[in-house]
Amino acid sequence: MAASAQGPAAPLTAEQAKAVLAEVIKAFGAPENAQRMEEARDNACNDMGKMLQFLLPVATQIQQDVIKAYGFSSDGEGVLKFARLIKSYESQDPEIAGMSGKLKAMFLPPMTLPPHGAGTGGVATS
């Protein structure tokens, strides 16, 4: 059985992960990628289901284009492995945690939680 040309992703140190994360964030800021994200956002119209349909594939593609150079597979699985790696460093490195939050804010809509007791929480109050 032949392995893929890229093989398994080499585990990155915290410093390497930080560098890759910075590169991913920079890629989102590139004019052509910013335009692709803006078009996807416009198509989604702040609808969470449409965000997943339009925005997430564009965001995934932008990340894939960067992380494949670091040994991650250039598919959704590579992005998930990268995300898990970053998550594992968030608690150890506040800078990585901040950068990760910045990255997520680029493609996830801000989530506003309803105040406690309001809305349909499924818990009846008397």
CB proximity list for 70: less than 8 A, separation 6 or greater = 9, 10, 12, 16, 20
Residue type, position 86, single letter: I
On whether residue 79 sits in a domain, the answer given is yes
On whether residue 7 sits in a domain, the answer given is no
d(CA 15, CA 23): 12
Domain count for the chain, please give it: 1
Per-residue model confidence (pLDDT) at position 115:
61
On whether residue 89 sits in a domain, the answer given is yes
- pLDDT tens column, 27-78: 999 999 999 999 999 998 878 888 889 998 999 999 999 999 999 998 889 9
Q: How confident is the model at residue 112 (pLDDT cuts 50, 70, 90)?
A: low
On whether residue 29 sits in a domain, the answer given is yes
d(CA 56, CA 40): 9
On whether residue 120 sits in a domain, the answer given is no
Name the E strands within the chain: none
Question: What does pTM read for this prediction?
Answer: 0.76
Q: Which domain holds residue 26?
A: 14-107
On whether residue 22 sits in a domain, the answer given is yes
